[in-house]
Amino acid sequence: MSAIRRVNSRVFLAAVMAGLLGESLLILEAQSRALEAAVRGDFRVVAALEAGVDEERRGVVEERLLALPGTETVDYVSPARVVERLAERDPGFPQAVALIGENPVPGFFEARLAAGQVAQAAEWVKAAEAIGELAEVSYSAPAARAVVELQFYARWARLVLGAAACLAGAAAAAWLWGAWRSGTLAEGARRSAGAALAAAGGWCAGALAAAAAARPAAAWNPAWPEPAVQAGALALCTLFILAWRAASEPAAGPASRGRERRAAAVALTLFAAAWALPGRAAEPAAKHKRELQALTRELEKAKGEAERFRAEAGKAERELGQTRRKQGRLESRIASLRRQSDEADGTRRSLGGRLATLDLARAEVRRRLARELSDYSRRETLLASAGTVGVLEDAVRRGAVHAKTAYLGGVSAEHRRTATEHAAAERRRAALSRKTRSELSELERARKSGAKARETFAETTRRMGEAEARIRGLEESRRALTSLVRELEKREPKSAQAAYRADPPVKARSLPWPLAGKVVSRFGKRRVPELGTWTVHNGVEIAAPAAGAVVRPVLPGEIIFSGPFRSYGNVVIVNHGGGFYSIYGHLQGPLQAKGTRVRPEAVLGKAAGNKVYLELRQAGRALDPLRWLKP
């Protein structure tokens, strides 16, 4: 074996080892990234809410969590959803909740952190715990540690590969610099062709060996190369080795030089292929990067739209909340008044019963006192000569009469006081009843006002839409009619156009009316009350005495248009010469035909409805018909 071949064999073996190591590092970096993405996809920080947090405060908590640095998304999980999740692990959990009678599990938020924020998950949790509505914030520390370690392995592999590439480039640059300084660049390149090809072949062989060894674990990484790519790499490795063998032959004679040239050509071809493959491999990455950027922009746009929609929904919800709170306050006051009225009515009934009892007691005392007085008056004569015993009995009877009289007075006083309290309770009940009716009336008025406001808004919106559509139709018809008149003017001979005047060829207030009637729509700007805006009318509308009333021209002339035209219905345009035209709209047939010459007594058509449109134009300029029609 020649010395060159021995050297190249050593280079080949060293390249095989380098290929094994390099491919192993690439596999380590790819698998670390894939595992890190999978673990981080399942990593969540759970923030449980305190009991009794309403929906509005929950929204505030969600906004504060989203505002924390490193937060990607925050999703709310309701208590019912928590029970469903726990039931997947423990089917008896819903039954336990049902026995308790209420769901003891609070709602919570699931926060997803950015890739670079997982290492600071503890600091994020401390910041979240400062939110008063959160009862507990927790996360899986082992999962966070696994994400951080996998990120470190991927970065370490990239760093080692980058350092190896830099060292290889530096070695090649140093060799080229030394060869150039010594003047042996061409000879060294020729002798080193075999070594370079041996190194390339060895690298490919080592890389393929490492890839084959790691193939059973390729399911970890869904982006593993396709079989066609692996077959191409194997073919490339084979060609490199063959080229190295050819370049390692001793240079002797033309055949040897031919082999060298062929080996050099093969080497150049293979290096070109090796240079092109990474570019092609990078194309999908660049494509995915562009797709990711587009997706990011679309996501930002969607977030902006969602934020705008959220603001609009919040505003509408606040307005609706104000209305509901007002009705709630009225209903609360009405309920309080009803309770007070019920209490007053109960007091009134209690005092009424007490008053009835006092009436009975007073009547009974009066009856007994009357009987005592009657007996005392009858026995007074009999006891007058009864001696000491009679005097004592008389004293006892007088005392009893006085006692009953005093008791009757007390009962009467209590009766008066109770009657006063009963009357006051009756007045209070009546006042509360009136106030309750007043509040109910106000609540009913508020409800009717709200319903009427909604109806008014809907009606106003409908009328506004109709008015806008009508205005658009009129404006389009006006522009189209103006364009038609101008087009008809352009068709006239140049001599006739040159004879146009600034004013009509008649005196003011001298034209006959096309039909007898009152002007219902005047010339010029007119306000539309439904929209609070103005529209321009180039003519007037004259009320027809009846449908079918005849319409006549204001001057002799030639009919240049006859037929339907947009919102004006059937239209007749008469050219009176000198650039003066009259236009008649809202007609019904039979109409005079185009090209007919008419006189003022001729019938152009009949009124189709309750009004007829009249427009006068001089040299394309609209005139106010009332200034030219007879008064």
Examine residue 207 and state whether it is found in any structural domain, yes or no: no
What's the CATH number where 519 sits? Answer: 2.70.70.10
Write out 439-477 in H/E/C secondary structure: HHHHHHHHHHHHHHHHHHHHHHHHHHHHHHHHHHHHHHH
**Do both 421 and 532 map to the same domain?**
no
Domain ends where: 383, 409, 442?
A: 442
Length of the chain, in residues? 631
Bond preceding residue 590 cis, omega within 30 of 0: yes
Closest CA to 586 of 540, 529, 528: 540
Highest average pLDDT, of 91-100, 213-222, 345-354, 529-538, comes from 345-354
Q: Quick: pLDDT tens for 432-464.
A: 888 888 887 777 776 766 666 566 656 656 666
Dihedral class, residue 487 (left if φ above 0, else alpha if ψ from -120 to 50, else beta): alpha
CATH code for the domain of 119? 3.30.70.3040
Q: CB-hemisphere CA count at 13 Å for 109?
A: 30
Please give the residue that has the higher pLDDT: either 49 or 482.
49
Task: Look up residue 477 and give its two tokens.
Answer: 């018809």
Do 502 and 409 fall into the same domain?
Answer: no
Residues 539, 571: contact at Cβ < 8 Å? no
In a domain, 225, yes or no: no
**Residue 31 within any structural domain of the chain:** no
CA angle 413/417/418 to nearest 5° reads 115
pLDDT: which is higher, 209 or 162? 162
Handedness of CA 359, 361, 365, 371 (dihedral sign): positive
In the chain, the number of structural domains is 3
Residues above pLDDT 90, as percent of the chain: 14
Tell whether 263 and 325 lie within a shared domain: yes
Residue 394 inside a domain? The answer is: yes
Residue 482 lies in a domain: no
pLDDT at position 235:
53
Task: Answer whether residue 493 shows pLDDT above 90.
Answer: no
Q: Is 412 exposed, middle or buried (0-12, 13-18, 19+ CB in 10 A)?
A: middle
Instruction: Give domain status of residue 337, yes or no.
Output: yes
Looking at the fold, whether 430 and 560 belong to one and the same domain comes out as no
Q: What band does 282 get if pLDDT is binned at 50, 70 and 90? A: very low
Does residue 2 surpass a pLDDT of 50?
yes
The candidate with the shortest Cα–Cα distance to 273, out of 226, 238, 223, is: 238
Lowest mean pLDDT among 3-12, 132-141, 585-594: 3-12
Q: Say whether both 265 and 363 belong to one domain.
A: yes
Residues 296 and 392 in one domain: yes
Are 438 and 533 within one domain?
A: no
pLDDT value at residue 470? 62
The CA–CA distances, whole Å, from 464 to 73, 457, 458, 470 equal 44, 10, 10, 10
In a domain, 15, yes or no: no
Q: Are residues 394 and 517 in the same domain?
A: no
> Which two three-digit tokens encode residue 473?
């139709």
Residues 359 and 496 in one domain: no
Determine the longest span between alpha carbons in the chain, in angstroms: 189
pTM above 0.85, yes or no: no
Whether residues 400 and 281 share a domain: the answer is: yes
Q: In this structure, are 114 and 262 located in the same domain?
A: no
What are 30's two structure tokens? 């790819």
- 560 assigned to some structural domain: yes
Domain encompassing residue 503: 492-627
**Residues 271, 413 share a domain:** yes
Our measurement of the distance from residue 533's CA atom to the centroid of its chain's CA atoms, rounded to an integer in Å, reads 32
Contact 415, 358 (CB under 8 A): yes
